[in-house]
Amino acid sequence: MNQVNQRRAFTIWLDPVCPYSWTTAQWLLATVDNPNELQWKLMSLALLNEGRELPERARKRMQDSRAAGRLFASLERALDSERMWQALRTFSDQYHRDGATIDGQSVCEMLLELELPAHHISSIDDPTLDAAVRDAHTLSQEAAGESAGSPLIGIGETVFHGPVLTAIPAPTNAHDLLTALETLSTVKTFASIQRFPHPSNSHL
Task: Kindly list the averaged pLDDT for each block of 10 residues, start to end, along the chain of length 204.
Answer: 54 95 95 88 96 89 96 97 96 86 93 96 97 97 93 92 93 95 91 73 42
DSSP state, 94? Answer: I
- CA distances from residue 74 to 8, 120, 157 in whole angstroms, order as listed: 29, 7, 28
Query: CA 178, CA 180: separation in Å to the nearest integer?
Result: 5
Structure confidence at residue 1 (pLDDT): 39
Name the CATH architecture for the domain at 3-201.
Answer: 3-Layer(aba) Sandwich (3.40)
Structure confidence at residue 202 (pLDDT): 43
Whether the model clears a pTM of 0.85, i.e. scores above it, the answer is yes
Residues 6+ apart with CB under 8 A from 96: 19, 22
Contact 153, 159 (CB under 8 A): yes
Query: CA 191, CA 185: separation in Å to the nearest integer?
Result: 10
- CA distances from residue 132 to 9, 71, 125, 153 in whole angstroms, order as listed: 24, 11, 14, 21
What number of CA atoms fall less than 13 Å from residue 135's CA on the CB side?
8
Structure confidence at residue 198 (pLDDT): 57
